[in-house]
Structures are given as C-alpha cells and as structure tokens.
Structure 1
Amino acid sequence: MANSLLSGFFYRHHHQLGERGIIHPFPFDSTTRVRHLIDHVLEYAGLWLKPEEKFEELKYPKKAAFHIGFLKVDLPLEPIETIQDRVQHWLEQNCEQDPLLSHQEISKIWTNSVDPDSRIQFVVLTLDDFQYVAQIGALPDPKLEPRIVGHNARLKSMANISQLPSPSQSAIDPKSCHNIAGGVCDGRPAGFHGPPNALFDSRLAKLEEAMSNLDTIEVDKVYVEFALKLISASVAFYRQEDERERRLREIVFGSLFPNGEWQRAIKNGKPEAFWLLSLIFELKNERGVGGDARMQCIMDYLKLLNDPDQAHSFRATSCCPSILFALAGTQLDISTIIYTDAPYVDDVFSMNLRTAFDMEDQVLCLARALKVVQETFQQLQTYYHDLPTQRKHGFSSHLPSPSPTEDVSVSQVVGLSFLYKLCQITGGQANFTPSECNRNNGHAIYVAIGTRANSAIPEGQEVVVKFSRRYNVNAHRLLSEVNLAPKLYYSCQVQGGYTMCIMEYVKGETAFTALASQPDELLPRSVYQDIKKAIDILHEANLVFGDLRLPNIILWESRAMLVDFDWCGRDGVARYPVDLNVYAEGEWAEGMERYGLMKMEHDVEMLQKLETICK
C-alpha cells in the first residue's frame, strides 16, 4: 500500500470547525505508524488553533499520544456543511470504540483501498472531547447533554478536596476550609450557602421536615431512655476525651447506630466514628476545647469522599447525602451535608444537653430528634448498600431531586428532567467558576425539560423550575393569563416545606442586562406600558409586587414581563424580607424597609423610576 493517502477530521465539541476541521490527505506506506499521523495532525492543527487554544499537549508530539486520540471511521466528506454534526452523531453511536495506539502500523489498520478525496478515514479528538463524547453516549437521552457541563465541574471541584486541610486543623481554624476550591458552603462567610439539602435528597427532606415539627413525633420509652442516657453522659466531667467517648459509645451509640467504625484512620483523617456516609460523629471533651466538632465532621465527610477505600466510588452517581452528629461537652449539633457543585451543610437540630427545671420537655425533645435521626440513618444505610447495583448514571448528582410526597418524585408526577442551574447574571447555564458560584449558589432556579406526553409540561420543552419558601403563585398565574408573566405550568409543595413552580422558559434578557449592554439607550416605551399594566392588575387584586427592580423585568419580542413573585403579597399586610438590602442607595421607594409593611404606593414610586429610563 505504498504512497496511499488518508483524510480525517479534527473534532472539537465546543468549536464548530466545519470545513476547517478537515485534515487534508496524509501519505503513508508500510513503515508509517500512528505516531507519524499524530505529527501530521499537530502540524495541521497549528494552522487553525487560536493562541489561547494551543494547549501544551498539542505543542509536543512526544506527549501528544497521551492527549489526543484517533478513531478509525468511514464517512462521506460531502456535504461539508454537515460534517461536524455527522461526525458527532457517529461518535455518539460509537463512543465505546477504543482509540488507535501510537505504535500501530497504518497499513495494518487500513488494509483495503480508501478514497481520501470523497471520504474521511479517521477522526481526531482531544482527551477532553473523548471524555465528553463518551459521557453523551452514556446518557439515557441525548437531550440531557447540558447536564454534563455541571457534572464535570462538580468532579473538578471534588478533585480539590485533597488540598483541604486536615479535619483536626479545620476544627481549630475553620477559615482554612474556605481558602481552597471555593470553600465549604455552611453559612459563613456571608453568601456561602446554597439551596436546601432537602431539595436534593428525599431522606434528608423528610429529616428536615420532621425536625421542624418535633412536637408531632411519637416516641416510646426506648427513645426516652436513650435521651436520658445521652444527657447523663454529656453533663458529666471527664479528664480525657477518650473517657467521654467510651461512655457514649457504650450506653448510646452502640444501640442507636450499631456497627460503626470507631477511631479508624482514613486517607488524611481519623474520624471519631463513621458509618460510611450514612452518619459521621465527632466529639470534643468540652465546648471550645480542641476546636469546632461540627467543622471537623464536615472535613471528615470530605476526606471520606476522597478516600478510594471508602466513599470515593459514590461520587459520580450520588449527591452523597450524610448526617453529621457533633457533640462538644453538652452541646449537640446535628446537620446534613451533600456534595453537588460544592459541599453544602444545613443545620437541623441544636441543643445544650443539661439537667434543668424543664427536664421533661428537654428529654422528650431530644428523644424525638434521636428517633428521627435513627430512622434517616437506617434509610441511608439501605441507600448506600443498594447504590452500586440500582443507580443508573444520569449525570444528575448536582441537580435537584424534589419529592412532593414521601414516596413520589416530581419526575413521576409531571415528567421532568433537570438540566442545569440558571445563572442569575447571564440568564444562561451557570458555569461554576468560583466568582459565578459565589453569585449563584444561594438561589434555587433551574432549567429542566419535559419528558412525558400528555403532561402539564409539554414534552421536550425546556422550562424554568424555581423553589422558594415564599412565592405568590396566584399573583404569577394572574399575570401569566394575560402574557405579562411567563406561563405557569405547575406548582406544588415539596418535602422540606418549599414551593416548586414550573414555568415557561422565556429566553429574553432582563431590563438590567439590556441597559448595561447599551448604557446610552433608553428602554422602549412598551416596557413601561407593559409593566404598568401588570402592576395595575395586581393592585386591582389588592396585591403589591414589591420587588420592581430591573433584573425582575424580562424583555421578549418588544414586550416586557414580570418574574420573581417571592415578595408579592397583600397591601398593608405582607412584609418585605428581613434581609432587604437597605444600603442600595436610590434602589428602593421611600418607606421600603426591612420587614416593613408592603404598600401599593411603593410600586407606584418604583414605576416612576422605571418610566425615567424608558423612551
């Protein structure tokens, strides 16, 4: 096969190369190997790669075999306009094919004559694109592809766990946990929190809901006895922490949470006790001695996730829900933790275990909390036992999985698959860079896709899903009926006490973005007219919108809509949020204040502000 030729295509998933990606005929003979083809491709790639795209792996042929790969194909060259899409389709259908090895002889791979003028014989990909295409092939539905960006960002974040300080150091210096990989989202410093863990795991949702309603939990004398023993053991003084640990282990934990790993060393840590990820326990002899037991629990969890012999295998297919049980002297703190795009901690129970005049109330409260924790612990034990065999990979570990009831998921009720978190800055997919995470981690707004025919949500249509403690569904529906708010498809309460609203995804831009992009231009007069009409309709229903800022006005085909009905409430009855930013000078109407009464006159003044920036 002397003097034969091969043609190929350099595939870049996030770059539409089209005709530029076609690799012109490469001559080969019986001595030519794949590594020679690599040299040819690298020389060609240098012609079209932009300077910022010239990755180190594409500069050095001796390393290139480890960073770019080749697949044997046989695809028609024409029509060139569709070559990228046709190659992508072929890759998705053949994602399990192994790449060619650098030492292989070309003549033994292509043993028959080929036509390099009308067909391509090989495809080249970077390793990142190899991984991405393989992930697309593993999806249950190609329409779920947007999930992969968030999934890969999550794994990249997890790769930084090894750089975090040890659990014992973190307990002494909690700030050190925030110096690496964006930190731990446990409520400090300001803004380091996320959507509630209840939205991501039904077991934690049930736990949070039960902890918020402990008076409704029935307990028997067994749990009362556990509570009495735990208080008795906690109020005693001990010379050493290990004395306290032995007593607690003997009289409480051995029965409530059996078969734990006590004082077992893991990679870069040694928790007081752990039950894989179902529950993690840390102990301090007294409050303030030896650091923060709760923070040490958090770091134990992360180190377990990073230990190949422990929970490492769960990272790709689970948000890794866990219970943290921290006891420092008499101070008990119970929290939940998950890992989505970052580790998020929710505190669900706290008590100073002491003897007191109200001993009966305290014992019953603790007994109820212990029962709830034990039940959730048992559910998590079952979950992790079954996870390797029952969980299919949908690249959705960083996305919500809310449940309207104890046994039914949202996807079962309305046919819904989550795709990505919405960026409040751009209105597109959040990219999980550190700066963007800090701006977006606190909200709970996502994009999903309808997956069922004859459902409330059109099949195949992208929708916005918002979760909120406070949301005026009736006000939203009132305006959506006259096209002054996105169409509201469905709303319900989900476990954890949150309202879920599924609405039309209006892919416009906010009035804020429109002004920022053209600061010298005024908004169309129709924007003011539409928003005034919307406010008039709300006022006729005795409702105040409240948050009439530019980010809450969506511009779409020369029309304007209102979004974000979290604050909306009855005139003179509803109140503004307690954390309203009163320091934003000139942003609010006169009289708007934290926890102040909402009044129609505030909307009117905000409308006047809007009119000044419209034609």
Structure 2
Amino acid sequence: MTAADYRVIDYPILLALSPVHIHSANSESASDTAIKKYRFLVDGFYDYDPTQRVHVSDMEEAMLETIRKREEYMHRSDSDFVVCTYECAHLPAPDTPSDASRRKAYEVIDDKWLDENAIRLFPRRPLATLKEGHNVLAVLTVIPLSRSTLPSSMVSEVNELPGHIHREQIAAAAQKRQSPSTGATLAQRLQTQNPRRIDAVYDGRPLSLMGPSITIYHTVFANFLKRMQESRHFTSDELDVAQNFVTQAAAYHGDGSKRHTELAPWTNKGVHAHFLRHTPISNSVGKFTPDGAVFASRETHDGFRALISAAELKTELGEGSGDPNAQAENVYVAYYSSREAQSVRDRSCCPALLIGLAGPTIQVSGAVFADQLVVQNLGDPVCVVPRLNTTGRSMLDDAGHRVAQLFYALRECLKELDDYYAALIQSITVPKRHLRSVGVMPGRPAPTSTGRAGLSPPPPMISPHFAQYKDDEGKSVTLTYTARLARDYPVKAVFVAEAKTDTETRTVVVKFTPAYCKDAHELLARASPPQAPKLRFCEFVESVGMWVVVMDYVEGKEVTNVLQDPVHIKSLEGAITALHADGFVFGDLREPNVLRVDDKVVLIDFDWCGKQGTARYPSDILLEEGAWHSGVQRGGLLEKVHDGFHFHALTGMKLPSV
C-alpha cells in the first residue's frame, strides 16, 4: 500500500482550562454558570489504513504519544490525561498557519460552542465512518498532580475535591438561583437544568440529568414505594377523609387559592397538620412561601429545623406560571443550599418528600443532596378522577382507596423522616458556648451566624445507608465508604469502602444495581486464576430496593485499545469460553468492563449477563453505530455471537467458541 492510499486526519488539540463563572443578570435576580474554556495547545496528525479496523481510541493513543513528548508533560503518566474527541460541523479558520493565529481562532470554543457545533466521538467508533472532509478536534484535560497519586480502579474516580467541598460549591451556586416560583418557569428551567451547571438538579429532565437511585441514600424512599403496595384494611375515618379529598380534588376551582382552601382540611387531617399550609420562609437565599411545608420536630442548636416535605399546588394541569413539581423541587434547593442548613447538610443527604398537586393529580417525589442534587418520582402520579379498574370496587370506591393508600404512605414516611432528623440532630455536638439563633423558622428573618464552634466534624462523604451485612461465615461486616467511583456517569452507583470485621479490614467495591447475574460472577471468581473479583455479598436488599454487590477491590488497568499481549488475549478468551460453556452470555463485553491485572484479564460488570435464550438487552441500550453486533436490539435476546463481536473488537481475533 502506498502513502497516497493512507488517510490523514489533521486536527487541533485544545487544553481544557479551569471553569470560569459567567454572571448574567436580569431585572429580578442573577444566575451564575460555570463555563469551561479551552486553549490551543498543538496540532495533531494521524494517518491510517482505511482498509483496516481503526478506531477513534487508536487516534487518541497516538495523540497522547505526541503530548508526552512535550517538556511539561514528560514525567506524567497516562492516567494523568483525559482525552475527548469531537466531530464538528465546522472549525474556526485561523488567518495564518501560525500558532498565535490558531490560539486566537480557537478562543471562541467553550462548552457552549461544543454543545452547539460538535458531537463527541465514541472511542470504539471506526474512523472510516467519519464524514469525508471531517472537522475533528481533541480536548485534553490534565489531571492535577494531587489526583495523580490516586490508585487505578475498576472505573475512573474523577472527583478531585473532597465531598463536602464539592457539595458546598453546589450550595454556593444554588444560592444565586431565582425564587422557587420564578425558577419553575420553562424559561428558567432551560437555563438551570443544564448538565454543565454544578447546581443542576438530577431529576431526569433532560435524560442527561439522571442521578443514582435515591433509595441508596435513605430507607424512606424504598419504604414509600413498599407502603404504596401494601394490602391494607383502612379505617372508616381514613376512608372518610379520602373520599372528601376526592370530592374536592376532582372538582374545578376558579383559582389556586380556592383549590388550596378546599383541599387543605383533608390533607392536613389525613397526612399532617401542615401538609398544605402556606408557610413563609426567610433564609440567606431569600424569602419564599411554599403551599405546604412540614418541618422536623427537633431543631439544631442554632434553631434550624430540617424540611421533611414541601408541597406546591396549581389550579389545573397547564395552568399557572410553572410546574408544581419543579416549584417544590426549587423550594428544596433553596432551603437546603442556604447557609443556615450547613450543619445538617454537612452530615446528611437531607432526605425529603416533595409533592406537586395540579388539578386532580398528585405526584410524590423524593429528594436528596448527595454528590449532586437528586430528585426522583416515587411511582406514578395518583389521579383521583374515578377510573375503570379490576379491584372489584366501584370507580369512586377505588379512587377513595387509592387516596387512603397515598395518605397512609405519606403519613408513615413523614414520621420516619422526623425520627431520622431527631437522631441526626442528637448526634451533633452542642457547642460549649451559646450561639444566638441563625435558624430558618417559618416567617423569621435569618440573622448572621456567630459560628459553629463545637460541632462534630462532618464525615468525609455522604454515604449510602447500607453499611452492614453478614459474610459467608456469619460474621458481621461494617462498611465505611471512602469514595464514589464512575462519577463521569452520574446514574451509576459504585463506591469504594473499607469492610471491617472483628479480625480484619479490606478494601471493597460496593455496587448498587437493578439487576445482577450472581451465578456468572461467581463462576469466574472461582476460576483458577480468578477472572472476576471475589464476591463478598450479593443480594437484593429491600431497604435499598436494588441489588447490593460487594466485591474485592482490584488494582488493574482498563482496556483502552486493542489488546496486544497474547497472554491477555488468551485470558479473555478463557473467561468468555467458560461463561459460554455454562450457558451464559456476558452481553456488555466492552472496554470499561475489562481490566488487565498483571498477566490476566478480569471482568467486572455482570449487570446484563444472563443465560442465552432468556436474558435480554435493556431498552435503554445506546446502539451507537459500529459499537454493537448488527443483531443487537433493544429488548432482544443476548447471543454468544454478540460476545464474539466484542471479543474481535478488543483483540482483532475471532472467538473460537462462536
């Protein structure tokens, strides 16, 4: 093949700079958004044979070789660099071929520019699929030296700040938001619900803002779902309250004030006296009045009471200036991002229930402040309009029972949260000297804090509530969480923890997942040598509502390119062959799930793994072109030939067993 037959990609390499805060103001308030800027570093060149299977990751590896030749990076390791490659609709054109001209031309590129003009390229995307006359650019992020000493792990640990500092940055940004009512409008939601904003709420809108299941942080959320499914005999009083609520909620009311007046007596009798009661709140964030607010019965030493539920009401669906669910969400953010909330925020995920009422419909959500602000719907909305059913009850009788069930679940969960905050506040050390009140009490302005001397130090991170289990020998094991992994993927819930018994302490990885193939994992963990981390615990835990998987922490390197070492190729072949021989298909045999550990390969993710002929792919699989076998479909059966496709992509070789 002659040089003329090769294709050449000439692309700029930009260096990611620290985010800058862009301040914008309007007549009512101001917002603060972190925007990441980029600076031209050097031009990259990559030539390849288009007849060969060459991927974006191959080009990125070649780029790193270029970067490592620069004097300032000669002593840095591969783990100190993160590369993202983009295909752009166009690139800014330098006036001259000089570096100075390039730097000036590329000054326009920031996060917003990339969002509007580029798509990120998947590492396994074949270069041959890029459009002719492609406009490619690469962004290099250099990890600070303070992070370069972190051990390599199963998935990248990318949070470079201690957990409490990161959360305080979120709180500081959230304090600059507009009022909860204004913030619930579409115009404001388009601004605040941006993944690039540190204070964005991970509520699933847009889908890029999906966080980990909130059930991992507090038991109340799984308990709410469980209580909504309980078979229960309701008292006459409960059904009387429920039917009166149905009558008023199903009626049309001229305005929100009238609807609030008619519904409040029944919610406040059936759930809590303050469930729907206008409650003025004044704190360091501002003044706002939710349509209902329930506070913990016990206050902190400085007068702060935790918010355990917030409710917002609209006359009808589509009426009013905003979504009541979004407004309740904003009330939560405004309350728990305040300076007054810090003593609780430092030590808690701040669990609360949020209720949005619009016309005859009620939506209950759960909220936590963990690594992100996360809000998730707790089941489907409850609509009180009588409907057809198969319960053996009339339509109206069924509506009453559904409301009685909802009121019961809310009532019990509010008690659970009140007990939780009482215990939390009890655990906070009372300061030696008296501090005058800085608490957020309904209607009370917040004076300046005189300090927080004497408070117990906050934990290093806000951790999942699952903290103890029994091992195979019946010994009690206590978990102390030390870090969250895979923060590039907010929906994933994977943590590093220290697992301690009365005789030893070991480092483990704790994973929370909706499904897991324990049998397949154990099959490879028992192999000689082991080709999966040793399982310490793997069960569906009701208080979490998910599978909890505890496994040994494995030091290894992710596969970021085609495997070259014959030993690693043979090891991977052995692992997949063993699974296939037992009827399993791994399903997701891609780079992040394959680790090189010395002279072997270890598989680490068995979420999709299952028996051929029964296990199916999830509907949310990202079917990116070139990344999957052509037979892979949403909801389709897992096939061994699909593993063979990924094996070839990882090794360049055919899997003998398929």
- How would you bin the TM-score normalised by the shorter chain? 0.5 to 0.7
The answer to whether the Cα contact below 8 Å between 2:507 and 2:552 also exists between their aligned partners in 1 is yes
Rounded to whole Å, the distance in 2 between the matches of 1:422 and 1:319 is: 18
Corresponding position: 1:444 with 2:457:
no
Rounded to whole Å, the distance in 1 between the matches of 2:544 and 2:360 is: 28
The answer to whether the Cα contact below 8 Å between 2:167 and 2:370 also exists between their aligned partners in 1 is yes
Q: CA deviation at 1:194?
A: 1.3
Corresponding position: 1:296 with 2:360:
no
Mapping for residues 460-499 of structure 1, pairs under 5 Å: 460-482=505-527, 483-494=530-541, 495-499=543-547
2:318 aligned counterpart, secondary structure = coil
- Runs (4+) of structure 1 moved beyond 4 Å? 391-394
1:247 aligned counterpart, secondary structure = helix
Instruction: Give the percent of matched residue pairs that are identical in Structure 1 and Structure 2.
Output: 27
**1:247 alignment partner, one of 237, 262, 265:** 262
Specify whether residues 552 and 337 from structure 1 end up closer, same or farther in structure 2 by C-alpha distance, changes over 3 A only.
same
The answer to whether the Cα contact below 8 Å between 1:266 and 1:307 also exists between their aligned partners in 2 is no
The answer to whether the Cα contact below 8 Å between 2:274 and 2:292 also exists between their aligned partners in 1 is no
Per-residue CA shift, 1:234-283, capped at 9, x if unaligned?
11222221111112222322442124662313343221121131111111
Q: CA deviation at 1:557?
A: 0.9
2:519 aligned counterpart, secondary structure = helix
For 1:251, the aligned partner's letter is W
Rounded to whole Å, the distance in 1 between the matches of 2:461 and 2:219 is: 13
Specify whether residues 355 and 404 from structure 1 end up closer, same or farther in structure 2 by C-alpha distance, changes over 3 A only.
farther
For 1:442, the aligned partner's letter is V
Q: CA deviation at 1:361?
A: 2.6
For 2:282, the aligned partner's letter is I
The answer to whether the Cα contact below 8 Å between 1:203 and 1:380 also exists between their aligned partners in 2 is yes
Specify whether residues 323 and 522 from structure 1 end up closer, same or farther in structure 2 by C-alpha distance, changes over 3 A only.
closer
Residue number in structure 1 paired with 2:452: none
Specify whether residues 403 and 230 from structure 1 end up closer, same or farther in structure 2 by C-alpha distance, changes over 3 A only.
farther
Residue number in structure 2 paired with 1:160: 173
Q: CA deviation at 1:484?
A: 0.7
Residue number in structure 2 paired with 1:83: none
Per-residue CA shift, 1:89-111, capped at 9, x if unaligned?
xxxxxxxxxxxxxxxxxxxxxxx
Residue number in structure 2 paired with 1:599: 639
Per-residue CA shift, 1:460-504, capped at 9, x if unaligned?
321111111110011101101111111111222222421111111
Corresponding position: 1:340 with 2:370:
yes
Q: CA deviation at 1:326?
A: 1.0
Q: CA deviation at 1:342?
A: 1.5
**1:569 alignment partner, one of 599, 610, 613:** 610
1:609 aligned counterpart, secondary structure = helix
**2:421 alignment partner, one of 384, 399, 402:** 384
Corresponding position: 1:507 with 2:555:
yes
- Stretch of structure 1 that moved more, 216-225 or 502-511: 216-225
Rounded to whole Å, the distance in 2 between the matches of 1:301 and 1:387 is: 19
Residue number in structure 1 paired with 2:620: 579
Rounded to whole Å, the distance in 1 between the matches of 2:588 and 2:414 is: 41
Mapping for residues 246-395 of structure 1, pairs under 5 Å: 246-259=261-274, 262-267=278-283, 268=286, 269-276=288-295, 277-290=307-320, 291-308=322-339, 311-349=341-379, 350-357=381-388, 358-390=395-427, 393-395=457-459
The answer to whether the Cα contact below 8 Å between 1:147 and 1:420 also exists between their aligned partners in 2 is no
Normalised by the length of structure 2, the TM-score is 0.63
Q: CA deviation at 1:531?
A: 1.2
Normalised by the length of structure 1, the TM-score is 0.67
The answer to whether the Cα contact below 8 Å between 2:467 and 2:478 also exists between their aligned partners in 1 is no
Residue number in structure 2 paired with 1:31: none
The answer to whether the Cα contact below 8 Å between 2:563 and 2:651 also exists between their aligned partners in 1 is no
For 2:589, the aligned partner's letter is L
Rounded to whole Å, the distance in 2 between the matches of 1:339 and 1:307 is: 12
2:580 aligned counterpart, secondary structure = helix
Residue number in structure 1 paired with 2:578: 537
Per-residue CA shift, 1:43-90, capped at 9, x if unaligned?
xxxxxxx9xxxxxxxxxxxxxxxxxxxxxxxxxxxxxxxxxxxxxxxx
Residue number in structure 1 paired with 2:250: 235
Specify whether residues 571 and 304 from structure 1 end up closer, same or farther in structure 2 by C-alpha distance, changes over 3 A only.
same
Rounded to whole Å, the distance in 2 between the matches of 1:287 and 1:413 is: 51
- Stretch of structure 1 that moved more, 340-349 or 472-481: 340-349
Rounded to whole Å, the distance in 2 between the matches of 1:414 and 1:227 is: 45
For 2:374, the aligned partner's letter is Y
The answer to whether the Cα contact below 8 Å between 2:199 and 2:373 also exists between their aligned partners in 1 is no
Per-residue CA shift, 1:313-357, capped at 9, x if unaligned?
311111100001110111210010000022111101312221345
Rounded to whole Å, the distance in 2 between the matches of 1:365 and 1:249 is: 18
Mapping for residues 192-203 of structure 1, pairs under 5 Å: 192-203=209-220
Residue number in structure 2 paired with 1:612: 652
Per-residue CA shift, 1:515-548, capped at 9, x if unaligned?
3xxxxx8521122211111111111211111111
Rounded to whole Å, the distance in 2 between the matches of 1:369 and 1:547 is: 39
The answer to whether the Cα contact below 8 Å between 1:471 and 1:567 also exists between their aligned partners in 2 is yes
Task: Tell me the matched-pair count.
Answer: 436
Rounded to whole Å, the distance in 1 between the matches of 2:247 and 2:613 is: 51
Kindly report the root-mean-square deviation, in angstroms, between the aligned alpha carbons of the 2 structures: 2.5
Q: CA deviation at 1:558?
A: 2.2
Instruction: Determine which structure has the larger strand proportion and give its number.
Output: 2
- Please list every run of 5 or more consecutive structure 2 residues that lacks an aligned counterpart in the other structure: 1-71, 73-158, 296-306, 389-394, 429-455, 470-474
Instruction: Determine which structure has the larger helix proportion and give its number.
Output: 1
The answer to whether the Cα contact below 8 Å between 2:242 and 2:266 also exists between their aligned partners in 1 is no
Higher-Rg structure is 1
